[in-house]
Structures are given as C-alpha cells and as structure tokens.
Structure 1
Amino acid sequence: MTTRLPHALRSDAADNRARILDAARAAFSAEGLSVPMREIARRAGVGPATVYRHFPAKQALVTEAFADQMRACRAIVDQGCADPDPWRGLCLVIEGICELHARDRGFTEAFMSTFPDAREITAGRAHTVKAVTELARRAKETGQLRPDFLVPDDLLLMLMANQGIRAATAAGQVAASRRFAGFVIQMIQASPQRPPLPPAA
C-alpha cells in the first residue's frame, strides 16, 4: 500500500490538472478571460484550493490554457515570413491569425492583454509583432501593401474587430472571420485610387 500511494496521488493530481485546464479552455473560449477561478473550479469538479495549488495566479492558468494557440500563432507567422512573396505571406498571416482568433474568444483577450508574469504570451505577442512588422516592410517595398499600414496599431485593430464577430455556430464564426479577413486584405492592398487612412489611434 505505501509503495503505491505516491503514484496514486500523482495520478490524481495529474487528472485534476487536466480537468482544470479543460474547464478553463472551454470557459475562456466561450466567455473570455473574465470567468472567475472559482467558477472554473466548479466546472472542473474540484475545489478552489486545488485550482490555486496548480495555478497560483490566473495568468499562469491563462498561459498554459493557451499554449497550443500561441504555438499555432507562431507557426502561422513563421510560415508567412518564409514565403518568398511578402504580400502573399502577409495575406497568409492575416487569414491564419483571424481564423485562429475567431475559434477562441479568450485567446484574443489573452494575446492583447498584459500579464506581467505570462512570459510565454508576452514573448509570443512580441514575436508576432516583430515578424509581421518586417513582413509588412517587405510587402511595402514591393508596392503591394499600402504605405500607411501600421504595425502593431493596425494589426491590433484588426484583431479587435475580428473579436467582435458573433455567429450561432463555430463554423459560422470561422466563415464570417474568413470573409472579414478578405475585406481587410482588399483594404490594405496598395492602389492609387485609395485615399490615405485616417491617423492611427
């Protein structure tokens, strides 16, 4: 009995952690980051103390809950930057990021929020902004991207607008986001007929 007890405890702890993360992902995705830790504990079927034992602060839970999305975001950006055609790469990034964020409302909030201790999210956001800035610079040099497109201002503006999309189903949400991304791409493409954009906020 004594030799098996630690293994059983470790197994229970791992199960609790998995349930907490599953509950957090579902809650954050549907309702955003405002869901209280106590409510996540209730949905996970554990006590609040168990949640805080695994995740002492909310930003720790947010960071781990969205680790997969941050990796996916980085992969989209890296794929776009690797495209020898910077305009095509930028279009790929806009389409991919809009769809990724449309699938998870909480991820957009986490991406745009400032969590001092959430190093992975902060680093992921910094990587995205730096990479898209360079991609936009290259696309402007080819004459395909309008010169007044700004990073990060317009990138964050795009994400905020994309976050406002609401649909009855997840598929409808993604479809609407793809249409929105199409409009964004058309609007930022360089054209002599288009007047300059208003100043960034």
Structure 2
Amino acid sequence: MTAAPSSHRPLRADARRNRRRVLDAARAAFEADGNLAQMEDIAKRAGVGVGTIYRHFPTKQALIDELTAQWMADGAAKADDALAEPDPWDGVALFVRRSAEIMLRNRGLREVFGDVGRLFDEEAPVQNHDLHRKVAALLDRAHAAGVLRPDVGVNEFRALMCGLAVAITNTPPDAHQTYADVILQGLKTP
C-alpha cells in the first residue's frame, strides 16, 4: 500500500513533479539519517515548502510508509536478479549479499527492517506481496535443490534479514560482509 494525496482527482503536472521531488529528497534524507530526518530538511532539499510535503503526505509516517513501499519494490527487483541466477544457492547468496550492501548504505531501510514487529504484522500499512512471492520462490528453488536448510521458510528468512539490518547498524563498514557470510553459512544445508 502506498500513501496517496487526500484527493482522488489526478494530480496536476506541477503537483506530480513536486511529489516526485519530495520523494527523491525524502529518500536521500532517510537513507542518510533514518527517522532523524526532518520534514523541514526534506522540503529544503526538494526546493518546496513544508506545506507541499504535508499536502502529499499528511504525516511523517505516511512518507516513511511510501519510502518503505519503494524499498520493498527494490527488494522485489533484487529477488528477480537472484532468481535469474542459474544455481539456486548462488541466487540465495546474491540476494543476501546485495541486501547487506544496500542496508549498509540505507539507514532508513535498516530502521524499517529493524522494527521486526511492524514488518511481521499482517495488518502492517505497507505490504509487498510481489517481494514475498519472489523470496518464497527463491527459497523453494533452493529447498528443491537440497542446498537450503529445510527448516528455513519465508518467515525465518525474513527474521534473519531483519536481524542483518540490526547487526549492520553502528558497525564497521566491512562488517556487513561478515554478517552476510555468517547468515549464509547458517542457511546452507549441512
């Protein structure tokens, strides 16, 4: 689900451009500062007034939800790349390692994934069924090849990815590779 302006009428061209500028500025701000990003700073980056942000996103959380939807769509694209790998294990490894690299650069994403309860809630305001379906296919393919532990399903994998996000927070820059490798070692069939 994505946040939308309060009106159901199509946006004028200038309003669409402003909304895009706000989202681009917000994405950069939240990637750098996470929840500490301020609406005033986002408005300044976007070259709009704060009121413009609130016309499109009535609350900071609505803006975060929109960004979360974008980040999850990016994750679905990463899963596509992983599914394109001919070797099922290489696909899982590619997804985990790329996710770790992106989490390293994106504080906002780490904070969203660090809030495990929110992501696991069936009533969460942001859901991405495409990402869920593609990750399930990635894991199913690895299970069928016998390279992924049989007791790891989508929920367990999601929990590990959330843990990866938390582990990457406030650690040395290269530690994300170690954490990804440890997760992969634990996922592989003994």
Q: Residue 132 of structure 1 contacts residue 151 of structure 1 at CA under 8 Å; is this kept in 2? A: yes
| Distance in 2 of aligned mates of 1:106 and 1:58 | 13
In the TM superposition, residue 33 of structure 1 has moved relative to its aligned partner by 3.2
Work out which of the residue numbers 159, 165, 176 in structure 1 matches 2:168: 165
| Distance in 2 of aligned mates of 1:36 and 1:84 | 44
Aligned residue in 1 for 2:180 = 181
Aligned residue in 1 for 2:4 = none
| Distance in 2 of aligned mates of 1:91 and 1:14 | 38
2:180 maps to a residue whose letter is A
Q: Residue 27 of structure 1 contacts residue 35 of structure 1 at CA under 8 Å; is this kept in 2? A: yes
The structure showing larger relative contact order (alpha-carbon pairs under 8 Å, at least 6 residues apart) is 2
Extract unaligned runs of 5+ from structure 1: 1-8, 192-201
Q: Deviations over 1:101-130 (max 9, x none)?
A: 222121244466469796xx522xx32222
| Distance in 1 of aligned mates of 2:36 and 2:106 | 14
Matches within 5 A, 1:111-130: 113=118, 121-123=126-128, 126-130=129-133
Aligned residue in 2 for 1:82 = 84
1:100 maps to a residue whose letter is I
Aligned length: 174
Tell me the TM-score normalized by structure 1.
Answer: 0.66
Extract unaligned runs of 5+ from structure 2: 1-11
Moved more, 89-98 or 18-27: 18-27
In the TM superposition, residue 165 of structure 1 has moved relative to its aligned partner by 1.7
> CA, structure 1 residues 163+105, in 2 after alignment: closer, same or farther (shift >3 Å)?
farther
Q: Residue 140 of structure 1 contacts residue 146 of structure 1 at CA under 8 Å; is this kept in 2? A: yes
1:134 aligns with 2:137: yes
1:81 maps to a residue whose letter is L
What RMSD in Å do the two structures reach over aligned CA positions?
A: 3.4
Tell me the TM-score normalized by structure 2.
Answer: 0.69
* % identical equivalent positions: 38
